[in-house]
Structure formats: structure tokens, C-alpha cells
């Protein structure tokens, strides 16, 4: 497994990480036994960057799952989780997603994450999204306090603009910036990635396979299960899916020419 240095932290991780959101029902029903087996297989292959968040699944489901799965193997990975997105039930029973970057929320959420993950320290702690009602300096300042007391090793941000990244980095060194990036999501190339290079911040792409689309796995709406997050994503809407399939065809031809899958 190839490795990459995580910013200027001095810590190296596998070039391919394992994002665990899908293990908590985001892409349809999930099988816990299969999820644990996948985590163990990833470690066996030399994958060392494991990524979760306190908002993945109900009541911290994803962190609890990973905490159980990593028992006895915690030392084999760099464990990343996130704070800032809050999911609650709305009046109609549907999930309501809010952003909360208040310092007091960050402190209490970190304690809860540590307990669910069954660990004494979070290796990489991301602010999941910008809270428009809280200056980013206050949120990152609270996270820096967690580093100072040894509960967190390094700080990260998720889906931040260049300007906000620079403001955060001025408060405390940011080790990693996570954003969606793939063949069909190229926006970070314009400003965010150059800023990461300048500041020595690792860029961590999520959904590099286009949420399954770039693998050729989603050929129609019938391939999207009930409760699958992609059902409400415009890229997977009926009117767009056919056009996107046409764009995908050349990638499949390149893969076939090399005897490989599109992934």
C-alpha cells in the first residue's frame, strides 16, 4: 500500500483510506457483520486511515460500530472523526440536519465520540461544516484546546473555502482538509487545493468514486435502494442519470482496454 504524509504532522497514512458513512445506512440497508469484516480486511490490506463522524447513523451508530470493530487493533490505524453536523427528528418524523460549531458543543461532542470509539485520543478531528452563526476562530479555538489537553492529536476541516481555511489555520495548524473530489467533482482544484499546497495541508478527497456512479454500479434508479441518500441527489435524478451515463461510457472503455474495472 502506498503511503502519504498527513500534512506536516510527520504521520504517514495509506494513500487509500476507508470512509465508513455507508456502514450506517446512508446508501441503503447496511450489514453490521459485513461492515466489521470490511474494516478488518482493510486493516489487513494495509489501509490505515479510517474515517467516520458523530453524525453518521442514528445516535452515533457509526462511531459505536468502529469502536467495537477496532478493539485490539486500534494501534493499526489513524482514526478520524468529525464534529459539527447534528441530526434530529423533525415534526414530520423526517431527519433534520443542522450545523453546530459552538465551543461548548465541540467539547461535549468530543467526550461522547471518545466514549463511542472506545479510545483515549482522536487522531484527526474534523470540523464537519462551517457554522454560519459561530466565527470559525471560536470553533477551531475550542478544538485546539482539545489538542492541548491530549484528547485530539491533529485538526482537520471538511468542505471549507480557501478564505475560511486560512482563517482557521491562523488559529491552529490545520493538518487536513476533506472535500468531495473526483472525476465529476473538480471544484477544489481552483482555489482550495493550491491553498493546501501552500500551507502544507493534506487534501483528503471523499467520494472519489462519485458515490458509486463512476464504478458503473448505478445504471438506473432501480439500483438505488429505499432510504438511500442518493435518491435525493440531483445527479441521480432520472433526467440527469441518462446524461451522466453517456459521460461515463468513455471511462468504461478506457478501463476495458486495460483489463480493469472503472473503479
CB-based contact 50:62 (threshold 8 Å) = no
Q: What is the dihedral of CA 41, 46, 49, 53, to 10 degrees?
A: 10
Angstrom CA distances, 141 to 36, 97, 138, stand at 35, 24, 5
Tell me the C-alpha distance between 34 and 238, whole Å: 30
Asked if 39 and 50 count as a contact pair (C-beta separation under 8 A), the reply is: yes
Give the other-Cβ count within 10 Å of 254's Cβ. Answer: 10
Residue pair 235/221 in contact by the 8 Å Cβ criterion: no
Directed axis angle between helix 192-199 and helix 162-171, to 10°? 20
* Catalytic residue status for 56: yes
Q: Which of 56, 125, 126, 181 is catalytic?
A: 56
Q: What is the spatial distance between Cα 22 and Cα 119, in angstroms, rounded to a whole number?
A: 22
Active site residues: 56
Amino acid at each position: 500500500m502506498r503511503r502519504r504524509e498527513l500534512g506536516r504532522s510527520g504521520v504517514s497514512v495509506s494513500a487509500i483510506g476507508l470512509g465508513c458513512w455507508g456502514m450506517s445506512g446512508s446508501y441503503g440497508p447496511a450489514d453490521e457483520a459485513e461492515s466489521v469484516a470490511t474494516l478488518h480486511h482493510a486493516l489487513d490490506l494495509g489501509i490505515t486511515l479510517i474515517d467516520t463522524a458523530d453524525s453518521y447513523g442514528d445516535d452515533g451508530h457509526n462511531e459505536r460500530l468502529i469502536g467495537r470493530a477496532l478493539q485490539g487493533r486500534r494501534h493499526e490505524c489513524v482514526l478520524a472523526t468529525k464534529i459539527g453536523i447534528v441530526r434530529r427528528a423533525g415534526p414530520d418524523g423526517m431527519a433534520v440536519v443542522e450545523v453546530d460549531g459552538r465551543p461548548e458543543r465541540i467539547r461535549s461532542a468530543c467526550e461522547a465520540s471518545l466514549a463511542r470509539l472506545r479510545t483515549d485520543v482522536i487522531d484527526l478531528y474534523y470540523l464537519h461544516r462551517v457554522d454560519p452563526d459561530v466565527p470559525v476562530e471560536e470553533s477551531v479555538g475550542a478544538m485546539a484546546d482539545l489538542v492541548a489537553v491530549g484528547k485530539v492529536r491533529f485538526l482537520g476541516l471538511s468542505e471549507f473555502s480557501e478564505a475560511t481555511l486560512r482563517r482557521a489555520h491562523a488559529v491552529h495548524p490545520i493538518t487536513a482538509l476533506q472535500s468531495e473530489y473526483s472525476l465529476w467533482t473538480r471544484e477544489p482544484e481552483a482555489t482550495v487545493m493550491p491553498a493546501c499546497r501552500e500551507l502544507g495541508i493534506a487534501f483528503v478527497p471523499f467520494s472519489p468514486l462519485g458515490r458509486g456512479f463512476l464504478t458503473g454500479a448505478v445504471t438506473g434508479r432501480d439500483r438505488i435502494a429505499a432510504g438511500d441518500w442518493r435518491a435525493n441527489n440531483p445527479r441521480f435524478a432520472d433526467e440527469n442519470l441518462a446524461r451522466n451515463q453517456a459521460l461515463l461510457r468513455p471511462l468504461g472503455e478506457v478501463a476495458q482496454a486495460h483489463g480493469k474495472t472503472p473503479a
